[in-house]
């Protein structure tokens, strides 16, 4: 992909055009504007006041004529499969188009049905003629604390337009429609992430990867053999013990929900932005669900207190165009709390159980206290960044990633 090839010139031109159009849209939205960065006269908090529900647009936004809105019932096996296939074939890819996220159906049902969810926020677009699902965007409700204010928000995710319908300007109208449906539930703020820069990130995080199966990662092009490294030397470098080393390290169970909620709430209170989880939230988001989310804790053998907690979610990627492998099994660090066990030891135990579950790589963002263990546990920096955004909520001074206590799926 040399820079002079016509293909890469066209791609760069299209990217720059889409980024111009992207800012045209976002300059019309109540989000921190680039021109306002550093303007200390603007207060933190809500940018626009809520409008009376009677004044919220009652009918859906207009779509281009061949398309129609649909609400995706994730309880329906058939609809859930349609959503799964759309994302599997059209969702986020890496810059070299080697990988594409392959969120599983069980994962999507978990991610989209937390306590208090609204089916109306699982929005699809169908082609009227074929009834095919061609686009998707979702919201789920969340209580997010920003400094000492708890704000009801929508977490917006899974914005996906079929590859064949790109640059038809569907994304802006889908964003407006999910915003309208969120407003109808009297919620006026939202949180979302993107791999691209939009007005205006509250923080920008770096991906880090810890090889668990270096031979496969090198074979599929996820990693490269280090300079002056042989394959056998690389395999030895990333080798892990067969079992966790911390006494009392075990899977989380239903009976642990209260203790884990106390531990997590206390830990997350130190960050500027974090979820305000209650026991129902902890039970949904952190109780282990096979092939979706795994969580472990340390129960002190002496006192039986629960002193530490770690969790990761399973987000495989399709490997596009490798003869020997079709799926990259990736674990993503979720929420981790250490009060007695050193965080690097707790996370090393997480790596050990992830390897035992046959994951190929363990990904983590440099949020919360993750930076303290990344290098020591042999994580390498990734090539992508994840920008975090709030809708209709200004935070004048961008956060450091270590001040962020929120992980979106
Ligand atoms: C809130 N919503 C975020 C969606 C999930 N996001 C984009 C994400 N959260 C955490 C990560 F740590 C992460 N990645 C580590 C980097 C990586 O693994 N890059 C190679 C790669 C393998 N598979 C894919 C698929 C798509 C893009 C890059 N890929 C990207 N990505």
- Residue 23 dihedral angles phi and psi, to the nearest 5°: -70, -30
Query: Which of 307, 361, 362 lies closest to 334, judged by CA?
Result: 362
Give bridge partners of residue 190 from the DSSP assignment. Answer: 154, 391
Ligand 1, residues at Cβ distance < 6 Å:
92-94, 99-101, 157, 193, 195, 207, 317, 328, 332, 363, 365, 382, 384, 386, 408-409
**Ligand 1 mean position to 128 CA, how many Å?**
33
For residues 212-236, one letter each, b for 16 or more C-beta atoms within 10 angstroms of the residue's C-beta and e for the rest, the string is bbbbbbbbbebbeeeeeeeeeebee
Per-residue HEC secondary structure of the chain comes to CCCCCHHHHHHHHHHHHHHHHHHHHHCCCCCCCHHHCCCCCCCCEECCCCCCHHHCCCCCCCCCCCEEEEECCCCCHHHHHHHHHHHHHHCCECCCCCEEECCCHHHHHHHHCCCCCCHHHEEEEEECCCCCEEEEEEEEEEEEEECCEEEEEEEEEEEEECHHHCCCCHHHHHHHHHHHHHHHCCCCEEEEEECCCCCCCCEEEEEEEEECCHHHHHHCCCCCCCCCCCHHHHHHHCCCCCCCCCCCEEECCHHHHHHHHHHHHHHHCCCCEEECCCHHHHHHHHCCECCCEEEEEEECCCCCCEEEEEEEEECCEEECCCCCCCEECEEEECCCEECCCCHHHHHHHHHHHHHHCCCCEEEEECCCCCHHHHCCCCCEEEEEEEEEEEECEECCCCCCHHHECCCCC
Residue in this structure with the two tokens 């429609």, named with its chain if needed: 177
CB-count burial class (<10 Å; 0-12, 13-18, 19+) for 338? buried
pLDDT of residue 1: 47
Angstrom distance (rounded) from CA 234 to CA 207: 21
Can you tell me the distance from the alpha carbon of 27 to that of 160, in angstroms, rounded to the nearest whole number?
Answer: 22
Q: For residue 92, which atom of ligand 1 is closest to its CA? A: 26
Distance 68 CA to ligand 1 centre (A): 30
Please give the distance, rounded to the nearest whole angstrom, from the Cα atom of residue 230 to the centre of ligand 1: 27
pTM greater than the 0.90 cutoff:
yes
- On the 0-12 / 13-18 / 19+ scale of CB atoms within 10 A, 243 is exposed
Check if the beta carbon of residue 123 is closer than 8 Å to that of residue 174: yes
**Probe residue for ligand 1, chosen from 97, 107, 317, 374 as the CB with the greatest number of ligand atoms within 8 Å:** 317
**Nearest of 48, 266, 51, 29 to residue 156 by alpha carbon:** 29
Hey, what are 259's tokens?
């203790």
Which atom number of ligand 1 is nearest to the Cα of residue 409? 1
Measured distance CA(180)–CA(182) in Å, rounded: 5
Closest alpha carbon to 31 in 193, 189, 205, 204: 189
Ligand 1, residue 365: give the atom nearest the CA.
12
Q: What are phi and psi of 195, to 5 degrees?
A: -80, -5
Q: What is the pLDDT of residue 38?
A: 83
**ipTM above threshold 0.90:** yes
What is the position in ligand 1's atom list of the atom closest to the CA of 209?
15
Nearest CA, atom 13, ligand 1: 207
Closest of 181, 184, 114, 190 to residue 151, by C-alpha: 190
What is the C-alpha to C-alpha distance for residues 113 and 109, in angstroms, rounded to an integer?
6
Residue nearest to atom 5 of ligand 1 (CA): 409
Alpha-carbon distance of 107 to 316, in angstroms, equals 10
Q: What is the pLDDT of residues 117-152, one digit of tens each?
A: 999 999 999 999 999 999 999 999 999 999 999 999
Cα–ligand 1 centroid distance for 364 (angstroms): 10
Residue 409 is among the residues annotated as catalytic for this protein: yes
| pLDDT at residue 16, rounded to an integer | 86
Q: To test the ligand 1 pocket, which listed residue (87, 97, 98, 99) has its Cβ within 8 A of the most ligand atoms? A: 99
What residues of the chain score a pLDDT lower than 50?
1
Ligand 1 atom with the shortest distance to the CA of 192: 1
CA–CA dist 38, 152 (Å, integer): 26
Q: How far, in Å, CA of 20 to CA of 167, rounded?
A: 12
Distance from the alpha carbon of residue 369 to the mean position of ligand 1, in angstroms:
20
Atom 20 in ligand 1: residue holding the nearest Cα: 94
Kindly report the protein residue whose alpha carbon is nearest to atom 4 of ligand 1: 409
298 strand-pairing partners: 249, 308
**pLDDT given at position 49:** 93
The pLDDT value given to residue 2? 64
Model confidence pLDDT, tens digit, residues 65-78: 999 999 999 999 99
Distance, CA 79 to ligand 1 centroid (Å)?
Answer: 25
């Amino acid at each position: 992909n040399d820079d002079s090839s016509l293909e890469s010139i066209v791609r760069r031109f299209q990217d720059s055009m889409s980024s111009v159009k992207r800012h045209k849209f976002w300059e019309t939205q109540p989000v921190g504007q680039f021109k306002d960065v550093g303007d200390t006269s603007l207060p933190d908090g809500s940018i626009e006041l809520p409008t009376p529900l009677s004044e919220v647009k009652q009918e859906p936004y207009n779509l281009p004529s061949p398309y129609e809105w649909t609400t995706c019932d994730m309880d329906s096996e058939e609809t859930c499969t349609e959503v799964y296939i759309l994302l599997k074939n059209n969702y986020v890819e890496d810059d070299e188009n080697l990988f594409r996220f392959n969120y599983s159906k069980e994962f999507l049902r978990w991610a989209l049905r937390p306590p208090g969810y609204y089916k109306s926020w699982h929005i699809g677009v169908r082609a009227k003629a074929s009834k095919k699902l061609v686009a998707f965007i979702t919201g789920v409700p969340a209580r997010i604390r920003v400094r000492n204010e708890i704000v009801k928000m929508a977490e917006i995710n899974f914005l996906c337009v079929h590859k064949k319908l790109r640059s038809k300007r569907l994304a802006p109208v889908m964003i407006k429609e999910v915003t309208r449906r969120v407003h109808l539930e009297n919620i006026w703020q939202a949180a979302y992430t993107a791999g691209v820069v939009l007005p205006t990130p509250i923080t920008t995080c770096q991906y880090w990867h810890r090889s668990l199966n270096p031979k496969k990662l090198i074979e599929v092009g996820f990693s490269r053999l280090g300079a002056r490294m042989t394959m056998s030397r690389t395999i030895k470098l990333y080798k892990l013990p067969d079992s966790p080393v911390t006494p009392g390290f075990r899977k989380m169970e239903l009976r642990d929900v209260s203790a884990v909620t106390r531990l997590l709430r206390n830990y997350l209170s130190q960050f500027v932005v974090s979820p305000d989880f209650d026991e129902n939230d902890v039970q949904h988001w952190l109780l282990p669900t096979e092939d979706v989310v795994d969580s472990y804790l340390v129960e002190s053998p002496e006192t039986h207190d629960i002193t530490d907690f770690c969790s990761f979610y399973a987000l495989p990627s399709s490997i596009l165009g490798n003869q020997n492998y079709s799926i990259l099994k990736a674990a993503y660090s979720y929420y981790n709390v250490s009060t007695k066990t050193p965080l690097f030891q707790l996370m090393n135990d997480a790596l050990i159980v992830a390897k035992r579950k046959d994951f190929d790589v363990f990904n983590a963002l440099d949020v919360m206290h993750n930076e303290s263990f990344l290098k020591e546990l042999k994580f390498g920096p990734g090539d992508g960044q994840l920008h975090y955004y709030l809708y209709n909520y200004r935070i004048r001074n961008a956060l450091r990633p270590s001040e962020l206590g929120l992980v979106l799926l």
